[in-house]
Amino acid sequence: MKSEQHFSRYANQRFHSKKMKTNKPKICVVGSSNIDLVVKSQRLPSPGETILGGEFLMVPGGKGANQAVAAAKLGAEVYFIAKLGDDIFGAQSFANFKKEGVNTKYVTRTKKALSGVASIAVDEAGNNTIVVAPGTNHMLSPRDVKRAEQDIASCGALVAQLEIPMETVEFAARLANKFKIPFILDPAPAQKLSSELFAMTDVIKPNETEARILTGIEVIDAKTAGKAAKNLLGRGVKTVIITMGAKGFFMVNNEISEFFPAKKVKAVDSTAAGDAFVGGLAFCIARGRTILEAALFANDVAALSVTKMGAQSSMPSMKEVEKFIKLKNKNDEEG
């Protein structure tokens, strides 16, 4: 890992946002909410194979909800824009938002569909497979986002993913651009994106698989990640960050093109590690930190998240992150 001195040449390249930065930044998240049905097993099954698993967990999840909770647990004032079913899963998710300090002013419930559900299998190494039944997530509309316009106009970052309708994502991006708010897009599950959406995106954060789907470039190492990242940069995105699990991440913009290794930890469950990264990234961007500082902080948040089971339950607090960074810095100095 390179030293902080190496990064000093990027110190004045702060993320452009006209909103006031405070120690408790305001973030808006537009996205999905699910209940995750998690089964632990020694290994993941092959296609058509049935295996016996172990521990079963039923925990709140969904990419949007995970990212909202991640930022809230770090200390942000988070407004979540989402749609839940009027069912037991919706009630459980709503209660958890309240518990984790997420503002639910724009979380609505409907009887027209069931809440989203994700079926997740996790092996002993922390690898996972996920299948999502979107439910009410596919009913989140531009009108729902429009309701939150006043709070979006005063936030320090707006986050979205692709587990909700594309028209809703694009509407959110237009609002962010209208108010000069940094727009962060997690392109998952990956799908074709319009040139307009690319141009409206300040930071896009795909993983290796999503980067391949978006660019057609197989991402297997730093070199191929850089090639894919530059491909996305050429489509109008301001900054591209490709996360590569336990390997680390590659970041490229007009000032930097570099690979950064992940922090070494004992992985228990990689579910929502990418969401933890996005939550940490949004938190720092909304505080007015440089995009590089934000990405390095997000890297630590993601590393900590894989040391616990579950999605939202694995998101660390700021106190935990600060302790982790202090310990890692001490070990680096001694090593």
List of E strands, 53-154 = 56-61, 77-85, 103-110, 116-122, 128-133
Contact 125, 147 (CB under 8 A): no
Catalytic residue among 87, 144, 275, 300: 275
Strands 257-261, 248-252: parallel, antiparallel or unpaired by DSSP? antiparallel
Q: Both tokens of residue 301?
A: 């948040």
Cα separation of 272 and 33, whole Å? 13
How many CA atoms lie less than 13 Å away from 184 in the CB half-sphere?
A: 33
Contact 54, 40 (CB under 8 A): yes
Cα separation of 194 and 162, whole Å? 13
Contact 259, 292 (CB under 8 A): no
Indicate the residue type of 264: K
Q: Could you confirm whether 275 is annotated as catalytic?
A: yes
User: 10 Å Cβ neighbour count for 86?
Assistant: 14
Q: In degrees rounded to 5, what are phi and psi of residue 46?
A: -80, 165
Strands 239-243, 203-204: parallel, antiparallel or unpaired by DSSP? parallel
Contact 232, 198 (CB under 8 A): yes
- The string of DSSP codes covering 6-55 is HHGGGTT-B----SPP-SS-EEEEE---EEEEEEE-SSPPPTT-------
Give the length of the chain.
335
Q: Both tokens of residue 114?
A: 């069931």
Q: Both tokens of residue 33?
A: 């909410």
Q: Which residues are catalytic?
A: 275
